[in-house]
Copies of this chain bind each other. A is one copy, B any other.
Amino acid sequence: MADIRYPLSFNQITAKTQWTLRQAIEGCARHGVTGIAPWRDKLAECGVKPAAKLIRDAGLKVSGLCRGGMFPAADAAGRKAAIEDNLRALEEAVGIDAQCLVLVCGGLPAGSKDIAGARRMVRDGIAAILPHAKAAGMPLAIEPLHPMYAADRNCINSMAQANDLCDELGEGVGIAVDVYHLWWEPGLKAEIERAARTDPKRILAFHICDWLMDTKDRLLDRGMMGDGVIDLPLIRGWVEDAGYEGFAEVEIISSRWWDVDPDEVVRLCVERHRTVC
Protein backbone atom coordinates (compact mmCIF):
# COMPACT_ATOMS: atom_id res chain seq x y z
CA MET A 1 0.00 0.00 0.00
CA ALA A 2 1.55 3.26 -1.11
CA ASP A 3 2.01 5.91 1.52
CA ILE A 4 -0.02 8.65 -0.13
CA ARG A 5 -3.09 10.59 0.83
CA TYR A 6 -5.38 11.77 -1.89
CA PRO A 7 -5.95 15.51 -2.20
CA LEU A 8 -9.27 16.50 -0.68
CA SER A 9 -12.32 17.56 -2.66
CA PHE A 10 -15.39 19.07 -1.04
CA ASN A 11 -18.75 17.81 -2.22
CA GLN A 12 -21.02 20.77 -1.94
CA ILE A 13 -23.91 18.88 -0.38
CA THR A 14 -21.78 18.69 2.79
CA ALA A 15 -22.69 22.37 3.27
CA LYS A 16 -25.86 22.30 1.21
CA THR A 17 -27.98 24.64 3.28
CA GLN A 18 -25.25 27.06 4.30
CA TRP A 19 -23.43 27.92 1.08
CA THR A 20 -24.07 28.88 -2.52
CA LEU A 21 -21.64 27.48 -5.06
CA ARG A 22 -19.67 30.75 -5.01
CA GLN A 23 -19.41 30.57 -1.23
CA ALA A 24 -18.35 26.93 -1.36
CA ILE A 25 -15.63 27.71 -3.89
CA GLU A 26 -14.36 30.55 -1.70
CA GLY A 27 -14.58 28.32 1.37
CA CYS A 28 -12.51 25.58 -0.27
CA ALA A 29 -9.87 28.10 -1.32
CA ARG A 30 -9.78 29.54 2.20
CA HIS A 31 -9.07 26.13 3.71
CA GLY A 32 -6.59 24.87 1.15
CA VAL A 33 -9.01 22.34 -0.31
CA THR A 34 -8.11 21.88 -3.96
CA GLY A 35 -11.16 20.06 -5.30
CA ILE A 36 -14.88 20.67 -5.41
CA ALA A 37 -17.90 18.65 -6.50
CA PRO A 38 -20.89 20.89 -7.28
CA TRP A 39 -24.50 19.82 -7.49
CA ARG A 40 -26.51 20.82 -10.52
CA ASP A 41 -29.09 22.92 -8.67
CA LYS A 42 -26.35 25.06 -7.15
CA LEU A 43 -24.56 25.20 -10.48
CA ALA A 44 -27.74 26.40 -12.18
CA GLU A 45 -28.15 29.20 -9.62
CA CYS A 46 -24.63 30.39 -10.34
CA GLY A 47 -24.61 29.76 -14.08
CA VAL A 48 -22.20 27.34 -15.74
CA LYS A 49 -19.85 29.91 -17.27
CA PRO A 50 -19.54 32.10 -14.16
CA ALA A 51 -19.03 28.94 -12.07
CA ALA A 52 -16.32 27.67 -14.39
CA LYS A 53 -14.48 30.99 -14.07
CA LEU A 54 -14.84 31.09 -10.28
CA ILE A 55 -13.56 27.53 -9.97
CA ARG A 56 -10.64 28.19 -12.30
CA ASP A 57 -9.71 31.46 -10.65
CA ALA A 58 -9.72 29.74 -7.24
CA GLY A 59 -7.31 27.11 -8.55
CA LEU A 60 -9.77 24.27 -7.91
CA LYS A 61 -10.40 21.13 -9.87
CA VAL A 62 -13.84 19.54 -10.17
CA SER A 63 -13.74 15.96 -8.93
CA GLY A 64 -17.22 15.31 -10.33
CA LEU A 65 -20.56 16.86 -11.12
CA CYS A 66 -23.50 15.57 -9.10
CA ARG A 67 -25.49 14.23 -10.76
CA GLY A 68 -26.90 12.54 -13.80
CA GLY A 69 -28.86 9.30 -13.76
CA MET A 70 -32.44 8.73 -12.62
CA PHE A 71 -33.12 6.77 -15.80
CA PRO A 72 -36.08 4.50 -14.94
CA ALA A 73 -39.52 5.92 -15.62
CA ALA A 74 -43.00 4.51 -15.98
CA ASP A 75 -43.28 5.31 -19.69
CA ALA A 76 -41.17 5.98 -22.76
CA ALA A 77 -41.74 9.73 -22.53
CA GLY A 78 -40.38 9.73 -19.01
CA ARG A 79 -37.32 7.75 -20.02
CA LYS A 80 -36.74 10.09 -22.98
CA ALA A 81 -36.97 13.10 -20.68
CA ALA A 82 -34.43 11.51 -18.36
CA ILE A 83 -32.00 10.98 -21.22
CA GLU A 84 -32.43 14.59 -22.35
CA ASP A 85 -31.75 15.76 -18.84
CA ASN A 86 -28.61 13.64 -18.74
CA LEU A 87 -27.41 15.19 -21.98
CA ARG A 88 -27.78 18.62 -20.35
CA ALA A 89 -25.87 17.34 -17.33
CA LEU A 90 -23.10 16.21 -19.67
CA GLU A 91 -22.85 19.70 -21.17
CA GLU A 92 -22.69 21.20 -17.72
CA ALA A 93 -19.99 18.74 -16.66
CA VAL A 94 -17.96 19.67 -19.71
CA GLY A 95 -18.62 23.35 -19.02
CA ILE A 96 -16.95 23.17 -15.61
CA ASP A 97 -14.27 20.70 -16.71
CA ALA A 98 -15.46 18.01 -14.31
CA GLN A 99 -13.39 14.83 -14.04
CA CYS A 100 -16.58 12.79 -14.34
CA LEU A 101 -20.35 13.00 -14.36
CA VAL A 102 -21.62 11.05 -11.36
CA LEU A 103 -24.66 8.88 -12.10
CA VAL A 104 -27.16 8.13 -9.36
CA CYS A 105 -28.98 5.76 -11.60
CA GLY A 106 -32.55 5.83 -10.30
CA GLY A 107 -34.89 3.47 -8.48
CA LEU A 108 -38.23 1.92 -9.30
CA PRO A 109 -40.62 3.82 -11.54
CA ALA A 110 -43.81 4.94 -9.80
CA GLY A 111 -46.06 1.95 -9.16
CA SER A 112 -43.50 -0.61 -10.25
CA LYS A 113 -42.25 -3.65 -8.33
CA ASP A 114 -39.93 -4.74 -11.11
CA ILE A 115 -36.41 -4.06 -9.90
CA ALA A 116 -34.89 -6.21 -12.65
CA GLY A 117 -36.75 -4.08 -15.17
CA ALA A 118 -35.54 -0.88 -13.52
CA ARG A 119 -32.00 -2.19 -13.77
CA ARG A 120 -32.46 -2.79 -17.49
CA MET A 121 -33.75 0.79 -17.85
CA VAL A 122 -30.59 2.02 -16.14
CA ARG A 123 -28.41 0.03 -18.51
CA ASP A 124 -30.34 1.28 -21.53
CA GLY A 125 -30.29 4.87 -20.30
CA ILE A 126 -26.54 4.88 -19.81
CA ALA A 127 -26.09 3.20 -23.20
CA ALA A 128 -28.15 5.99 -24.77
CA ILE A 129 -26.00 8.80 -23.39
CA LEU A 130 -22.67 6.99 -23.67
CA PRO A 131 -21.85 7.98 -27.26
CA HIS A 132 -22.45 11.62 -26.33
CA ALA A 133 -20.27 11.27 -23.22
CA LYS A 134 -17.46 9.71 -25.22
CA ALA A 135 -17.68 12.37 -27.90
CA ALA A 136 -17.46 15.00 -25.19
CA GLY A 137 -14.60 13.21 -23.44
CA MET A 138 -16.63 13.08 -20.23
CA PRO A 139 -16.34 9.85 -18.19
CA LEU A 140 -19.58 8.55 -16.69
CA ALA A 141 -19.21 7.41 -13.09
CA ILE A 142 -21.85 4.94 -11.94
CA GLU A 143 -22.21 5.41 -8.21
CA PRO A 144 -23.56 2.27 -6.59
CA LEU A 145 -25.78 3.36 -3.71
CA HIS A 146 -26.46 1.50 -0.47
CA PRO A 147 -29.21 -1.12 -0.84
CA MET A 148 -31.44 0.95 1.43
CA TYR A 149 -31.88 3.29 -1.56
CA ALA A 150 -32.71 0.54 -4.05
CA ALA A 151 -36.38 1.49 -4.25
CA ASP A 152 -36.32 5.26 -4.32
CA ARG A 153 -32.91 6.40 -5.58
CA ASN A 154 -30.70 3.84 -7.22
CA CYS A 155 -31.14 0.18 -8.07
CA ILE A 156 -27.38 -0.27 -8.58
CA ASN A 157 -26.39 -1.33 -5.08
CA SER A 158 -22.98 -2.96 -4.95
CA MET A 159 -19.52 -2.72 -6.43
CA ALA A 160 -20.05 -6.15 -7.97
CA GLN A 161 -23.17 -4.96 -9.74
CA ALA A 162 -21.47 -1.76 -10.93
CA ASN A 163 -18.57 -3.80 -12.30
CA ASP A 164 -21.00 -6.09 -14.13
CA LEU A 165 -22.73 -3.06 -15.62
CA CYS A 166 -19.43 -1.53 -16.72
CA ASP A 167 -18.46 -4.83 -18.34
CA GLU A 168 -21.69 -4.74 -20.27
CA LEU A 169 -21.47 -1.08 -21.32
CA GLY A 170 -17.77 -0.92 -22.20
CA GLU A 171 -15.37 1.97 -22.36
CA GLY A 172 -16.43 5.41 -21.18
CA VAL A 173 -18.21 4.17 -18.06
CA GLY A 174 -16.57 3.75 -14.67
CA ILE A 175 -17.45 3.78 -10.99
CA ALA A 176 -17.59 6.26 -8.14
CA VAL A 177 -16.58 4.29 -5.02
CA ASP A 178 -18.33 5.74 -1.96
CA VAL A 179 -17.39 4.15 1.34
CA TYR A 180 -20.81 4.92 2.83
CA HIS A 181 -22.59 2.82 0.24
CA LEU A 182 -20.11 -0.03 -0.03
CA TRP A 183 -18.31 -0.55 3.28
CA TRP A 184 -20.53 -3.53 4.20
CA GLU A 185 -20.03 -5.41 0.90
CA PRO A 186 -18.36 -8.75 1.67
CA GLY A 187 -16.52 -8.90 -1.67
CA LEU A 188 -15.53 -5.23 -1.82
CA LYS A 189 -11.77 -5.75 -1.90
CA ALA A 190 -11.99 -8.27 -4.73
CA GLU A 191 -14.39 -6.05 -6.68
CA ILE A 192 -12.07 -3.03 -6.33
CA GLU A 193 -9.25 -5.23 -7.61
CA ARG A 194 -11.49 -6.24 -10.50
CA ALA A 195 -12.04 -2.56 -11.32
CA ALA A 196 -8.26 -2.11 -11.43
CA ARG A 197 -7.77 -4.80 -14.05
CA THR A 198 -9.69 -2.97 -16.76
CA ASP A 199 -8.08 -0.66 -19.27
CA PRO A 200 -8.60 2.20 -18.69
CA LYS A 201 -8.94 1.67 -14.96
CA ARG A 202 -12.49 1.91 -13.82
CA ILE A 203 -12.50 3.83 -10.53
CA LEU A 204 -13.27 7.45 -11.39
CA ALA A 205 -14.02 8.90 -7.97
CA PHE A 206 -13.55 8.04 -4.30
CA HIS A 207 -16.10 9.45 -1.85
CA ILE A 208 -15.59 9.50 1.89
CA CYS A 209 -17.68 10.08 5.00
CA ASP A 210 -18.60 7.59 7.75
CA TRP A 211 -21.38 5.23 8.82
CA LEU A 212 -22.65 6.08 12.29
CA MET A 213 -23.34 3.02 14.45
CA ASP A 214 -26.66 4.46 15.55
CA THR A 215 -27.80 5.91 12.23
CA LYS A 216 -30.97 7.88 12.92
CA ASP A 217 -32.12 8.76 9.44
CA ARG A 218 -32.00 6.78 6.23
CA LEU A 219 -30.97 9.82 4.17
CA LEU A 220 -29.66 12.67 6.30
CA ASP A 221 -27.42 11.10 8.92
CA ARG A 222 -24.07 10.37 7.34
CA GLY A 223 -21.13 10.82 9.66
CA MET A 224 -17.93 12.88 9.60
CA MET A 225 -14.89 10.72 8.87
CA GLY A 226 -13.76 9.14 12.12
CA ASP A 227 -17.11 9.37 13.88
CA GLY A 228 -18.38 6.02 12.62
CA VAL A 229 -17.45 2.42 11.97
CA ILE A 230 -15.91 2.44 8.50
CA ASP A 231 -12.26 1.43 8.30
CA LEU A 232 -11.34 4.31 5.98
CA PRO A 233 -7.58 3.63 5.66
CA LEU A 234 -8.35 0.02 4.73
CA ILE A 235 -10.65 0.94 1.86
CA ARG A 236 -8.39 3.82 0.78
CA GLY A 237 -5.54 1.30 0.58
CA TRP A 238 -7.59 -0.93 -1.71
CA VAL A 239 -8.40 2.04 -3.94
CA GLU A 240 -4.73 3.07 -3.98
CA ASP A 241 -3.68 -0.43 -4.87
CA ALA A 242 -6.19 -0.29 -7.71
CA GLY A 243 -4.24 2.62 -9.14
CA TYR A 244 -6.78 5.34 -8.46
CA GLU A 245 -5.14 8.76 -8.66
CA GLY A 246 -7.86 11.33 -8.07
CA PHE A 247 -9.35 13.12 -5.10
CA ALA A 248 -10.81 11.88 -1.86
CA GLU A 249 -14.15 13.67 -2.11
CA VAL A 250 -15.88 14.26 1.20
CA GLU A 251 -19.63 13.91 0.80
CA ILE A 252 -21.50 14.09 4.10
CA ILE A 253 -25.26 14.28 3.67
CA SER A 254 -26.34 15.17 7.18
CA SER A 255 -28.87 17.55 8.63
CA ARG A 256 -26.65 17.62 11.72
CA TRP A 257 -23.72 19.15 9.83
CA TRP A 258 -26.02 21.53 7.98
CA ASP A 259 -26.57 23.22 11.33
CA VAL A 260 -22.86 23.92 11.82
CA ASP A 261 -20.80 26.91 10.62
CA PRO A 262 -19.58 25.68 7.21
CA ASP A 263 -16.08 27.01 7.79
CA GLU A 264 -15.90 24.77 10.83
CA VAL A 265 -17.22 21.84 8.76
CA VAL A 266 -14.53 22.29 6.11
CA ARG A 267 -11.83 22.80 8.74
CA LEU A 268 -12.83 19.55 10.39
CA CYS A 269 -12.98 17.71 7.05
CA VAL A 270 -9.40 18.81 6.37
CA GLU A 271 -8.30 17.72 9.83
CA ARG A 272 -10.02 14.34 9.71
CA HIS A 273 -8.76 13.71 6.22
CA ARG A 274 -5.23 14.13 7.58
CA THR A 275 -5.76 12.13 10.75
CA VAL A 276 -8.21 9.27 10.17
CA CYS A 277 -8.53 8.68 6.43
Residue pair B146, A115 in contact (C-beta under 8 Å): no
> Digit string of A146-162 for contact with B (CB within 8 Å is 1, else 0)?
11101110010110110
Q: Which residues of B contact A151 (CB under 8 A)?
A: 184, 211, 213, 215, 228-229
- A118, closest chain B residue (CB): B229
Say which residue of B115, B211, B230 sits within 8 Å of A184 (CB atoms). Answer: B115
Closest chain-B Cβ to A111's Cβ sits at a distance in Å of: 9
Assess A113 versus B230: contact at CB under 8 Å? Given A146-B148, A147-B184, A186-B157: yes
How far, in angstroms, from A2 to B23 measured CA to CA in the complex?
62
Interface residues of A in 213-253 (CB under 8 A from B): 213-218, 228-231
* A156-197 contacts to B (CB < 8 Å): 157-158, 160-161, 164, 183-186
Query: How would residues 204 to 217 of chain A score, 1 for a CB under 8 Å from any chain B CB and 0 otherwise?
Result: 00000001011111
Within 8 A of B (CB), among A109-159: 112-115, 119, 146-148, 150-152, 155, 157-158
A213-B183 in contact (CB<8A): no
Q: How far is the CA of A152 from the CA of B183 in the complex (A)?
A: 14
User: Is A229 in contact with B112, judged by CB distance below 8 angstroms?
Assistant: yes
CA distance A157 to B108 in the complex (A): 22
Q: How far is the CA of A152 from the CA of B148 in the complex (A)?
A: 15
Contact of A213 among B148, B152, B185, B231 (CB under 8 A): B152
Residue among A119, A155, A217, A231 with the most chain B CB within 10 A?
A: A231
Nearest residue, chain B, Cβ from A158 = B186
Q: How far is the CA of A186 from the CA of B187 in the complex (A)?
A: 14
| Known A-B contacts A113-B230, A231-B114; A150 and B184 likewise in contact (beta carbons under 8 Å) | yes
Pairwise interchain contact A186-B119, C-beta atoms closer than 8 A: yes
- CB neighbours (8 Å) of A215 from chain B are 148, 151, 218
A152 to B230, CA, bound (A): 12
Shortest CB-to-CB span from A183 to chain B, Å, is 7
Q: In the bound complex, how far is the Cα of B71 from the Cα of A198, in angstroms?
A: 39
Our pick among B108, B161, B164, B228 for the contact of A229 (Cβ within 8 Å) is B108
Query: Which residue, of A151, A157, A185, A231, has the highest number of chain B Cβ atoms within 10 A?
Result: A151
A115-B183, A151-B211, A218-B218 given. 5 additional CB < 8 A pairs? A108-B229, A112-B229, A147-B147, A147-B185, A215-B218
9 interchain pairs (CB within 8 A)?
A: A108-B213, A113-B231, A115-B229, A115-B231, A148-B148, A150-B183, A151-B211, A152-B214, A164-B186
